[in-house]
Amino acid sequence: MIEFLASNVYARTASLLAVFLLAAFAAVAVSRWLARYAEVRTGLRELEGNRAVASLGRLRKQNETAWSRLADQIEKAGLNLSDTKGDDLRAKLIAAGFESSAAPRIFTLSKVLLILLLPTVYVLLFVANDPDPNYFKIYVIGAFAALLGMILPSLFITAKADRRSEAVRNGFPDSLDLILICVEAGLGLEAALDRVGREMIDSHPLVARLLSTATLQLRAGAPREVAIRAMGEQSGVDEVRSFATLLIQSDRLGTSISQTLRVYASEMREKRRMRAEEKAHRLPVVISIPLVICMLPTMIGVLMLPGMVRVVRELLPALGG
């Protein structure tokens, strides 16, 4: 492969172009992540100073404006980025953390680019200078590369949504304990959510964002039932949805919120402990696979090699007369 790249001008040019594009994409991604991180930190600091409404609105407006501008320019060029299952796709993207209104169109654009880019890269690198190309092989590998480009964005979104859901699921019992302490200290539910959301910025930022968003909706005049139910739907976690339903029922029936929080926090801690025990019990089975594949043949070879050497040196000549 290295000799082919060194001897072929087109392959070398294509490989250098691919490396340049990857480096440029990585630099842009890192710079955007750092800028976004700085904006989020600034917004959270303003949230502590009771300026959350203006800050959050400004951050969301800037983000949505940038994505919307990019999507509008692409669609003006003649490429329709709308999806037939727009609602389901938007729900998945929100669960993965992409809340911009242009996120579904950018997701569709990434699929289209990967479907076209991967087969093109394969053709440029391996097929362009082949004197006798196998067209069936080109067709099969190109179709597989296009299929991979169509699947990769969905796998990325699913994996990121699962990681976020796991982070929310693991951090929510701690927030319930803090909310319970605040409620028992005399704070109302809105003040307790606001206080816990500001306290959990560093330890559990996703949970803090959910609580802060619910607080902002309550301050904006939304009914408590609507804000709490929206928090459960935005999280994408069944435990948070159940907690929201439990709070709504407790508010309707007039029961003690502190007792409700205490019971549900205990149940969520128990579920978290059971999940940890399940992972611990599954670990020996997972470890046995690489042990059998990698270490067992080596151990068998080490144990049998001296006997095999002795058989070759002594037993076979004796049997041969």
pLDDT score, position 285: 83
Residue range 76-88, pLDDT digits in tens? 766 666 666 667 7
The chain-wide mean pLDDT, for the chain, equals 77
Is the pLDDT at 36 greater than 70, yes or no? yes
Is the pLDDT at 56 greater than 70, yes or no? no
Tell me the mean pLDDT in the region 278-292: 83
C-alpha span between 250 and 263 (Å, rounded): 13
Burial class of residue 264 (count of CB atoms within 10 Å of its CB; 0-12, 13-18, 19+): buried
Element (H, E) at 53: helix 52-76
Burial class of residue 208 (count of CB atoms within 10 Å of its CB; 0-12, 13-18, 19+): buried
3-state DSSP percent of the chain in helix, strand and coil, to 5: 85, 0, 15
The percent of residues in the chain predicted with pLDDT above 90, rounded, is 0
Tell me the mean pLDDT in the region 244-271: 80
Residues whose CB falls within 8 Å of the CB of residue 1, separated by 6 or more in sequence, listed in order: none
Q: Are 39 and 56 spatial neighbours (Cβ–Cβ below 8 Å)?
A: no
- Name the pLDDT band for 54 (thresholds 50, 70, 90): very low
Q: What ranges in the chain are assigned the alpha helix state H?
A: 2-7, 9-48, 52-76, 86-96, 103-122, 135-184, 189-199, 205-219, 224-235, 238-253, 257-290, 296-310, 316-319
pLDDT score, position 52: 42
Residue range 87-145, pLDDT digits in tens? 777 777 777 777 776 777 778 878 888 888 888 887 777 766 666 767 777 778 888 88
Buried b (16+ CB within 10 A) or exposed e, 181-207: ebbeeebebeebbbbbbbbbbeebebb
**pTM for the whole structure:** 0.59
pLDDT score, position 122: 79
Residue range 150-206, pLDDT digits in tens? 888 888 888 888 888 888 888 888 888 888 888 888 888 788 888 888 888 888 888
| Greater model confidence, 51 or 182 | 182
CA 275 vs CA 47, 50, 272, 278: distances in Å: 34, 37, 5, 5
CA 178 vs CA 16, 145, 200, 241, 257: distances in Å: 54, 49, 9, 19, 13
The percent of residues in the chain predicted with pLDDT above 70, rounded, is 79
DSSP character for 123? I
- Name the pLDDT band for 50 (thresholds 50, 70, 90): very low
Residue range 38-49, pLDDT digits in tens? 777 766 665 554
Task: Give me the sign of the Cα torsion angle 237, 239, 245, 251.
Answer: negative
Residue range 8-21, pLDDT digits in tens? 666 667 777 777 77
- Name the pLDDT band for 304 (thresholds 50, 70, 90): confident
Residue with tokens 């939304």: 222
Structure-block tokens of residue 257: 């919120």
Angle at 60 between CA 57 and CA 64, to 5 degrees: 140
Element (H, E) at 218: helix 205-219
C-alpha span between 268 and 241 (Å, rounded): 13
